[in-house]
Amino acid sequence: MKFLDLCKVYVRSGAGGNGCISFRREKYVEFGGPDGGDGGTGGSVWAEAVDGLNTLIDFRYQQHWFAQNGQGGMGRARTGKDGSDIVLRVPVGTEILDEDQETVLADLTTLGERVLLAKGGNGGWGNLHFKTSTNQAPRRANPGQEGVERTLWLRLKLIADVGLVGLPNAGKSTFLAATSNARPKIADYPFTTLHPNLGVVAVDNTEFVVADIPGLIEGAHEGRGLGDIFLGHVERSAVLLHLVDGTSGTLIEDWQTICDELSAYGEGLAEKPRVTVLNKIDALDAEERAFLRDELQAAGARDVLFMSGASGEGVTEVLRALRPHVEARRAADRATGEEEDSAWQP
């Protein structure tokens, strides 16, 4: 399935049905009078976060979503049938943006969460509503209310516990393939990863989700390479795993490039907990490893770990270093949920 994380949709709620002008005329019935019914309410457009989806590809082929109109009122005081609602089924983590692509209308981060995108129009009143003591035969009815048309953007930000960042060919996809059942593309040229990949890893009876995004290069926030739009998929992560290629001849510059791009992107990524790992150590001897680690720590990196995704050396230690951050985030989320539940009053 093709990955799609940004798309435009056009939604329109249903118009309300018109009110009816009708009079009761029956043989042998002494009292007649107005009996026009009201129009039905138009259908609304909703968005709901559902399970089992991780892409917006469905909205690539169906961009227009129109709810059903309400039925008009009828005689004998019969109300028209309401229009059917329609629901846009989106993955968890989808943001609903206004047409300007900046105003966030809703952020669906919880399974089953629903938001109203366009409310259906009210049905018009029939002439039965306008009967008074001085106007016992009103020939007046209201038209139904028009539906609401909106142009919206859907932007998916994957919900993962750990976000993988680094330059192209830093070994991010190799690490994901070595620790999970995910099978991302791996090759010896840059930008083999063109869209995010998710994998579930396990360590010490704890499972968490890792997101691998395309590599960043210097100037990505200005649109160079694949840009930095994919950083949105690691905004919600509890910790960042920063992989640095130990065989690169510009180790410090590579590390600083990623730090600068995270700062330029904003959204709190630069302040997010980060685990720095010197990767591809299978090509380095002990003296080179110690030298490069000292260089990184002198530049500002904290607690640099060693790892080789290809040979598996140090992978378990890296996963164990990530685990406390993931568990701390989950504990904070549970505490927040409990506070909200305790504050609820019937």
Structure confidence at residue 182 as a pLDDT band (50, 70, 90):
confident
- 169 labelled binding-site residue: yes
Taking only the tens place, the pLDDT of each residue in 272-293 is 888 888 888 888 888 888 888 8
Q: Is the dihedral of CA 87, 110, 112, 201 positive or negative?
A: positive
Assigned CATH topology for domain 162-339: Rossmann fold (3.40.50)
Domains 6-156 and 162-339 share a fold: no
Supply 211's token pair.
């997101």
The pairing of strands 197-203 and 206-212 is: antiparallel
Structure confidence at residue 68 as a pLDDT band (50, 70, 90):
very high
First to last CA, the chain: 44
CB atoms within 10 A of CB 197: 23
φ and ψ of 20, to 5 deg: -110, 140
Structure confidence at residue 145 as a pLDDT band (50, 70, 90):
very high
Determine what percent of the chain is predicted with pLDDT higher than 70.
93
Determine the pLDDT at residue 172. Answer: 82
Determine the pLDDT at residue 328. Answer: 87
- When pLDDT is averaged across residues 169-178 and rounded to a whole number, the result is 84
- 171 labelled binding-site residue: yes
Q: Which residues does 205 contact at the CB level (< 8 Å), separation at least 6?
A: none
Residue 122 CA, chain-centre distance (Å), reads: 31
- 258 labelled binding-site residue: no
Minimum mean pLDDT range among 36-50, 92-106, 188-202? 188-202
φ and ψ of 246, to 5 deg: -70, -15
- 282 labelled binding-site residue: yes
Domain boundaries, the chain: 6-156, 162-339
CA dist., res. 184 & res. 222, Å (int): 27
- 51 labelled binding-site residue: no
Contact 181, 163 (CB under 8 A): no
- 237 labelled binding-site residue: no
- 185 labelled binding-site residue: no
CATH for the 6-156 domain, from 3.30.1200.10, 3.30.460.30, 3.30.1490.390, 2.70.210.12: 2.70.210.12
Determine the pLDDT at residue 341. Answer: 58
- 281 labelled binding-site residue: yes
